[in-house]
Amino acid sequence: MATIRKRGAYQWQVQVRKKGFPTQSNTFESRAEAEAWAREIEGEMDRGIFVSRAEAERTSLGEALERYLREVTPAKKSAKQEERRIRRWMTHPLALRSLASIRGADIATFRDERLAQGRSPITVNNDLIVISHLFTVAVKEWGMESLRNPVSAIRKPKLPRGRDRRLEEDEETRLLEAAESPYREAIALAIETGMRAGELRSLEWRNINLRVRTAILDDTKNGERRVVPLSSRAVEVLRELPRRADGFVFPTMTADGLSQGFRRVCRRAGVEGLRFHDLRHEATSRFFELGLNPMEVAAITGHKTLIMLQRYTHLRAENLAAKLG
């Protein structure tokens, strides 16, 4: 049976006592909310599906984020970026609320606020991914089985169409002519191998076999080891590079340095609207145009699903028309 009493001017405390179950209590801002909560708890007890909400009700989102940051984030490849995202979440008013009190409507309000502030749909979606996974971990690993994931109850921001920028006409020649070493070699290898910028920067000579024409990538985005076949041109590019004492193919190249250096190369070459990551799209599309099948291309690029592989593939209609005869 539920007992409801007023505490102070604006709070109502409710307790539910039933034989065979631990006493459940909570506090609300209105009597109606307290009564609704009590009915829900009593109904679950009557149906034999009750799971205690105690821990979820006494754990704030901010506390859960702190635990997630300690236990989950360090194991991720994007740990630094995720930590910054979590730190921003901790400053939001929702961080003061208990996990059990957060509903889909709260998350929808957060989504709309961020979009209204000018944040891109991709940024907002990444914010939601963190919270969604936090609730999943809380349910599966932290003993809060009563929780419902509020992110699953809302519409996600509509993401923009994926980029389909490919190299046009003589852009590749202009880029290579405008680039100095090591940017020239990095650009050429990205086009020949489809490697990501981070994979190129972590590439080591000990993992390259020019005789059998392979490069082993130990440090990939999805954390899985990958063996990349090297074209004749890729082998030529690697032969021209000096070998440094630290063993890295591009020892002095940082993430920011590569991005900034590539932008300078594009300006000198008169190439507009191109990002370094677009070279991965170019390489993936070329693999298909060479006649490789999806399994072969995925083995080179490391894409885990056909959907992701399709996002990176932009075949030219004129090339397809030539095949049709």
Catalytic residues: 196, 221, 277, 280, 303, 312
Contact between residue 170 and residue 270 where contact means Cβ atoms under 8 Å apart: no
Contact between residue 182 and residue 241 where contact means Cβ atoms under 8 Å apart: yes
What the block records as the tokens of 95 is 């961080």
β pairing state of 214-217 and 208-209: antiparallel
What the block records as the tokens of 227 is 């063996």
DSSP character at residue 48? T
Task: Report the alpha-carbon distance of residue 83 to residue 85 in Å, rounded.
Answer: 5
The radius of gyration computed from the CA coordinates of the chain, to the nearest angstrom, equals: 27
Q: Which residues pair with 11 in a beta bridge?
A: 7
Rounded (10°) angle between helices 79-90 and 61-71: 170
Rounded (10°) angle between helices 183-193 and 232-240: 160
Q: Is 2 left (phi over 0), alpha (psi -120 to 50) or beta?
A: beta
Percentages helix, strand, coil for the chain, rounded to the nearest 5?
A: 55, 10, 35
